[in-house]
Structure 1
């Protein structure tokens, strides 16, 4: 069996162990493969964790699930059962979302909602469905979710070829699989991908015994960490597979072998993989620049000149990454058990591949992690506070928490650490070395200000109370379920929506009670205030998602 040298495995595990301890991640598990088999795998737990990590310990792979959905669809294409470019209503009669761009198309790709567009996130479908969305712990049947989407309103012009990530769109793709095969999504995936690859510890959905085998994961805020909620997501084709490092290694090996199982059985053809790995459309401004594009449920990027393909996943405490170098014949899986740690998983995936390449004389080994200098007592005392940008009036805060410093900027808590003197770098659970984030450097000049985002910020001692418009004030507060609270606030003349723990979106007015969201996850979704659902509950809508006003806020 092929393997990595002891020194190579030791280097990779040292790099992983540093992140586990430095970022206080419960565990990180990995597998490295080439076309011939497993090169190395392991589990690194934080020093104070004692979960018995076994061969059948499983993880939520999140949106890596989408790649299985793509393989399934391409199997149907190869059998002549579906056409990627026909309107999906050919397979789902009545699926006709309202297209407000009809008659004023902005691109050359036509107005049809096709499988190709859905799988490349260029169909213009909303990010999350009305039910079965990421903030919904009740798992409705896939047919119900798709039936609601059939009459939804597109948020983007499907003729433009612009990528806007949509879990809802992949749910529709899964429904096509069910309709054309007359099997449930889980049964089809199990029979046609999992069983042929010997992935016996993998489940499309939370099968019996999964919960007991699931590696514990944490959610976090600056106030502390807490156990991640565990429930089966709706819209299963977009992100609800549970798997192990060994099973996912078998899957990655199959993809590296051109879609062939170890004994020569074809799971998907090399031609189909080539089509799946061809970028489609354009990526909007602000998207991950490490990716050159997105194909059919696969991201396509570049690592040290090698073309990379794969996908990440993020679901309630689990951050995963699958990265393959098809030309070199190597693949890596990383599973971290901390919410929003995807950038760390991606960084370690790159490190793992570089180690494998170096072992074959095809690249250089990554450097061992350099421990940053400590923050001085003087810096911990003097740097926290409010800083204002004179031209825009925007204010950011440097906050001290547990002897660490955070810059509360761009809607997320950015941990900052010294480089030399008063020069700092962003390096924490969200962004760090190698991150695709343009404003990594922070400094504090002797004048007492802040330099960040290529701009100067001045220290301010306090802020005058801001007048909230009377039409907005009654709607500020908390919405949604206990396990994932959404917050509406108002600052610097703008309504802000903080959703999925960290992602603050600026909200631009459309009309009296509707706003266009601008931010990391829900870009261009419509936020509706004072919404009422089918049962008379009051709250807000983000796209089609209804989030009820929390009782403590309503009472206030």
Structure 2
């Protein structure tokens, strides 16, 4: 899963209703590769997006791409490429992609709700919520606090060695069958190296642990908590963990470095760190909910707990500011064959989503689209 950047370390149409299928030819490793697109190329925004996407597809690893831009509350959707290399099927705003660590922002909102419900206190020693004894989870008498798990200052190792040391370890699906028991075994074996709460160091294991604490606090599984507090209220009907029941043509299948299909990741017992799959249509609703901040839990999840307003952390949200001083709340994700980016601009009622089913580098694309929204 990608570590989000943190500098504290961070055409025409028929009757204007039915867009005609269009193609863009892009130079890729000396060859011309046609890329399907539904971009109508009518507005300045359409052209700016297309120009940036053409640069993105110069990366020979690129396969499919879905983008949503929100400007003053209005969504704009753009889709390019294929849901599976060679299948000729272009994604759309309801195509489901892995979103990886973007899931952590959802976990931050659930934590905020637990704080409001007085199930958990952010300053609590995490051992209050763990079964058994963990004398190793403090440094010189200073314990790891709940909020340290959500702002990546806990000093918990990014990935526990017992993930890859297992006989059943699969490098293409590394967390498959990684259980709660293994998570806690790794936690027992960990050694603190400095004071928690002082140094940013991205940790998947910390957020996985936070997810189990939230499940125990409510006596409900992670997805049930998401459904009640986020997915149902904001009509995110296609955001899910389990996609086994869906037809194959609903999914943007992940691809490796040679544009070969690779497995979707299975994070069965540690979902809070990155198990969600979603669509640009659903994530536009998520952007609007986060920009509005009318939900007290969402608003609380945006409050800074580490760093500065220019480069800091809230509850699993990265905080930045644009050159013009606009606040940005963001989180991205990466799995074995998918990449995602989410940026919210509350002051502008704007935001963006990038979902990709390949390992092509989308960082320049994200920067270019942020510049368009924040100009």
The TM-score normalised by the length of structure 2 is 0.78
The within-5 A match list for 1:420-499 is none
Distance 1:211 1:118, change over 3 A: farther
CA offset at residue 54 of structure 1?
3.5
The within-5 A match list for 1:7-86 is 7-34=44-71, 36-38=73-75, 40-45=76-81, 50-86=88-124
User: Is residue 2:314 matched to residue 1:295?
Assistant: yes
2:250 and 2:159 mapped to 1: Cα distance?
Answer: 28
Of 265, 274, 277 in structure 2, the residue corresponding to residue 231 of structure 1 is 265
1:66 and 1:152 mapped to 2: Cα distance?
Answer: 24
CA offset at residue 210 of structure 1?
7.2
Matched with 2:147 is 116
**Structure having the larger proportion of residues in strand:** 1
1:201 and 1:345 mapped to 2: Cα distance?
Answer: 23
1:78 and 1:25 mapped to 2: Cα distance?
Answer: 42
2:296 and 2:246 mapped to 1: Cα distance?
Answer: 27
Compare 169-178 and 155-164 and name the one that shifted more: 155-164
1:300 and 1:95 mapped to 2: Cα distance?
Answer: 34
CA offset at residue 50 of structure 1?
1.3
Matched with 2:356 is 336
Structure of greater relative contact order (alpha carbons < 8 Å, 6+ residues apart): 2
Distance 1:6 1:97, change over 3 A: farther
Q: Indicate the SS of the match to 1:324.
A: strand
Distance 1:97 1:312, change over 3 A: farther
CA offset at residue 42 of structure 1?
1.6
CA offset at residue 336 of structure 1?
2.1
Of 302, 305, 326 in structure 1, the residue corresponding to residue 346 of structure 2 is 326
Alpha-carbon displacement from aligned partner over 1:219-262 (angstroms, at most 9, x marks no partner): 11xxx44222223125210111000010011101100111x3xx
2:332 and 2:175 mapped to 1: Cα distance?
Answer: 24
User: Is residue 2:369 matched to residue 1:349?
Assistant: no
The TM-score normalised by the length of structure 1 is 0.54
Q: How many residues align?
A: 325
Q: Indicate the SS of the match to 2:256.
A: strand
Q: Indicate the SS of the match to 2:366.
A: helix
Alpha-carbon displacement from aligned partner over 1:453-486 (angstroms, at most 9, x marks no partner): xxxxxxxxxxxxxxxxxxxxxxxxxxxxxxxxxx
CA offset at residue 323 of structure 1?
1.2
CA offset at residue 211 of structure 1?
5.6
CA offset at residue 81 of structure 1?
1.4
Alpha-carbon displacement from aligned partner over 1:1-42 (angstroms, at most 9, x marks no partner): xxx97221222123113311454410221011246342x012
Matched with 2:191 is 154
CA offset at residue 212 of structure 1?
4.9
Would you say the 8 A contact 2:284–2:353 is kept in 1?
yes
Matched with 1:384 is none
The within-5 A match list for 1:137-152 is 137=174, 139-140=176-177, 142-152=179-189
Would you say the 8 A contact 1:30–1:41 is kept in 2?
yes
User: Is residue 2:253 matched to residue 1:253?
Assistant: no
Matched with 1:127 is 158
Distance 1:7 1:88, change over 3 A: same
Q: Indicate the SS of the match to 1:180.
A: helix
1:218 and 1:317 mapped to 2: Cα distance?
Answer: 4
**Structure having the larger proportion of residues in helix:** 2
Would you say the 8 A contact 2:317–2:331 is kept in 1?
yes
Q: Which runs of 5+ in 2 are unaligned?
A: 1-40, 165-169
Distance 1:120 1:248, change over 3 A: same
Distance 1:78 1:35, change over 3 A: farther
1:146 and 1:173 mapped to 2: Cα distance?
Answer: 11
Distance 1:170 1:95, change over 3 A: farther
Q: Indicate the SS of the match to 1:118.
A: helix
2:129 and 2:66 mapped to 1: Cα distance?
Answer: 40
Would you say the 8 A contact 2:341–2:353 is kept in 1?
yes
Distance 1:63 1:188, change over 3 A: same
Matched with 1:280 is 306
2:56 and 2:311 mapped to 1: Cα distance?
Answer: 27
